């Protein structure tokens, strides 16, 4: 039944490690997004893909690399993790309407 | 640059009415959305205004004035479950890119 799912829900790791977060949507949407929400709840777009093509690429360190193997999946790989990467990462998807459907979030803690 | 201004927190009693304002300054404008987020949860869509005027959806209404770069979300007949953060978000390009405001925490008390 889950519309947009993310794994893992929690991720605790050491500085310098590489980690990935996976996202899947079963809504048949063409567009998917990655957002970062910081400790002050500020929500900022990072990337967006439309039907596997990158369409939005905000000013994000190139340690962050999204990958979309198909239009139902958008993964986020982060290299050389830093303390400042600690945040909640949300995946979202959208179809032809303006509503974006958010996943449950992945809380990343870098120690 | 872009900015969306929202006041930070409001406390209100059950049954009351709360208005959350949003002023924006963005490079493009296609519409204004509102999202609700409970603590520990994901943002969920409430409403979208592309044209000036009031949109009503049950107890919640959203208003837009493009000439004033201003909108508001009106929460009526407040219930405890309405305690959450509320974000305005401008759709600022044709790719459905959303620029979010800092959010407004609403606390409903008995």
Provide the pLDDT for residue B3.
62
C-alpha span between A106 and A90 (Å, rounded): 7
Distance from the A41 Cα atom to the nearest Cα atom in chain B, whole angstroms: 7
**What single-letter DSSP state applies at residue B47?**
E
Average pLDDT over residues A19-41: 95
Percent of chain B with pLDDT over 70: 94
Enumerate residues 9 to 28 of chain A having a beta carbon within 8 A of any beta carbon in chain B.
none
Enumerate residues 43 to 72 of chain A having a beta carbon within 8 A of any beta carbon in chain B.
43-45, 48, 50, 55-56
Q: Specify whether the CB–CB gap between B87 and B95 falls below 8 A.
A: no
pLDDT band at B4 (very low <50, low <70, confident <90, very high): low
Provide the pLDDT for residue A20.
98
Average pLDDT over residues B62-90: 96
Closest alpha carbon within chain B to A43: B100
The Cβ of residue A66 has, within 10 Å, a number of other Cβ atoms equal to: 21
Rounded to 10 degrees, the C-alpha dihedral B21/B5/A45/B44 comes to: -20
Closest alpha carbon within chain B to A58: B97
Average pLDDT over residues B53-75: 96
Average pLDDT over residues A26-54: 93
Q: CA-CA distances (angstroms) from residue B74 to A50, A62, B17, B18?
A: 33, 40, 7, 6
CB contact under 8 A, B48 and A98: yes
Out of A40, A56, A99, whose CB is closest to B97?
A56
Provide the pLDDT for residue A97.
83
């Amino acid at each position: 039944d889950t519309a947009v799912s993310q794994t893992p829900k929690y991720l605790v790791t050491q500085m310098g490690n590489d980690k990935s977060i996976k996202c899947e949507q079963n809504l048949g949407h063409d567009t998917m997004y990655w957002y970062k929400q910081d400790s002050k709840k500020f929500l900022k777009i990072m990337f967006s893909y439309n039907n596997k093509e990158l369409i939005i690429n905000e000013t994000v360190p190139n340690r962050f690399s999204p990958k979309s193997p198909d239009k139902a999946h958008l993964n986020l790989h982060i290299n050389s993790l830093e303390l400042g990467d600690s945040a909640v990462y949300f995946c979202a998807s959208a179809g032809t309407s303006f509503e974006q459907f958010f996943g449950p979030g992945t809380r990343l803690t870098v120690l | 640059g872009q900015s969306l201004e929202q006041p930070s927190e409001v406390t209100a009693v059950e049954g009351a009415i709360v208005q959350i304002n949003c002023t924006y300054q963005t490079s493009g404008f296609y519409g204004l959305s509102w999202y609700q987020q409970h603590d520990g949860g994901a943002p969920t869509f409430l409403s979208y205004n592309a044209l000036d005027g009031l949109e009503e959806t049950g107890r919640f209404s959203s208003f837009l004035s493009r000439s004033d770069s201003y909108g508001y979300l009106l929460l009526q007949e407040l219930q405890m479950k309405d305690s959450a953060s509320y974000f305005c978000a401008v759709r600022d390009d044709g790719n459905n890119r959303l620029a979010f405001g800092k959010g407004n925490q609403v606390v409903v008390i008995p």
